[in-house]
Amino acid sequence: MDAVIPKTVFYIFSLPISDTLFSTWVMMAIIIIIAFLIRKFKPALGEMIVEMIYNIVSSVMPDDINLAKYLPFLGTLAIFLVFGNIFSVVPRMVSPTANLNTTAALAILVLLAVYFYGIREKGVLGFLKDLANPIFMLPMEIVGQVSRTLSLAVRLFGNILSTDLIVAIVFSLIPFIAPLPLIALGMLTGLLQAYIFIVLAALYVGSAIEVEAMEKERRILKQEVSKTYIN
Amino acid sequence: MWQLDSSTLITVITILASGIGIVLGAIVPAVMEGIAVQKALDGITRQPEAANDLRTTLLISMALLESTAIYVLLVILVLLFANPLLDRFF
């Protein structure tokens, strides 16, 4: 059973295309079609989905920020993951996130988004200053950034792959009715993992753009002092 | 006794290690997740109005706890299906 290593389906100019990559393309086409349909007909369902993502993201981000700046990235991630984690229920397709390359790409994207939003919000110097508040904690912070990216990727991959594997094993033993509850469990796990990935990404972005309360008070005090000094 | 060649020996040891590893790697996160759920339910029964915050925190921490079990599973999958030691020695 070579479920851990993705199969190569066909070659484009001697470039191997794995089955997860092919599934990703099919999934992207489906998502684009659904997005065009939602834009054209504007059903209440689309609004509901966007509000749901907004509520999830706003529950973990800091309160006093403009959430519309961060919602496009996190919402795109949410839609991709919700489709990608349960895409193995479509016949002849596999989940795109059952491949470590896909999840590693998503996790690295989250890491880069943390730096991008942090630098956009605070400037390069401010971001570097807030990265480690006592300066000797800097190595720990760097280790934390690497390890949390790794764990984001590996957690999603492991969960999706393990549920797919369980379904495959039970299917090879009893190919009738018996895998159905496990497929349902796999869909539930996929949705939960998508939720957790989004919440963690929002948490990381939020912690990068957040100015700590004491630091904020200190800056306000400094401004007031300089103002009174000038006056 | 049987004379095992090295490749069979490595396979046997790998299978034994996978069994022991998945048992240990499943027990500890399961117990810890049980403790986390217990404490969260305690909190919810004491303060039902804090249930939403607690649920979010509980889900995140459960995922973080569960990821250790998933790492164990991944290591064992690599050992079983894509064993690097067999390639290195033979």
Q: How far is A207 from A209, CA to CA, in rounded Å?
A: 6
A193 touches B: beta carbon within 8 Å: yes
- Nearest Cα residue to A6 out of A173, A125, A164, A143: A164
Please report the pLDDT score of residue A16 as a whole number.
Answer: 85
Reported in sequence order, the residue ranges of chain A that DSSP labels E, i.e. its strands, are 8-12, 15-18
Q: How far is A41 from A44, CA to CA, in rounded Å?
A: 9
Q: What would the pLDDT profile of A71-108 be if each residue is shown by its tens digit?
A: 889 999 999 999 999 998 888 888 899 888 899 999 99
Q: Do B63 and A162 touch (CB under 8 A)?
A: no
Q: How far is A216 from A219, CA to CA, in rounded Å?
A: 5
Which residues of chain A make contact with B57, given a CB cutoff of 8 A?
none
Take residue A201 and report the two structure tokens written for it.
């990404």
Q: Do A60 and B56 touch (CB under 8 A)?
A: yes
Residue A188's Cα: distance from chain center in Å? 17
Q: Do A158 and B82 touch (CB under 8 A)?
A: no
Which amino acid appears at position A8 of this protein? T
pTM: 0.83
Region class of B3: left (phi > 0), else alpha (psi between -120 and 50), else beta:
beta
Q: How far is A158 from B15, CA to CA, in rounded Å?
A: 20
Please report the pLDDT score of residue B18 as a whole number.
Answer: 92
**A23, A87, A203 from A92: Cα distances, Å:** 9, 10, 36
Please report the pLDDT score of residue B90 as a whole number.
Answer: 59
- Give the residue ranges of chain A where pLDDT is below 50: 1
Take residue B49 and report the two structure tokens written for it.
């109005």
Q: How far is A97 from A187, CA to CA, in rounded Å?
A: 13
A168 touches B: beta carbon within 8 Å: no
Which residues of chain A make contact with B18, given a CB cutoff of 8 A?
none
**Proportion of chain B in helix, strand, coil states, percent, rounded to 5:** 90, 0, 10
Q: How far is A195 from A79, CA to CA, in rounded Å?
A: 10
Q: Is the ipTM of this complex over 0.85?
A: no
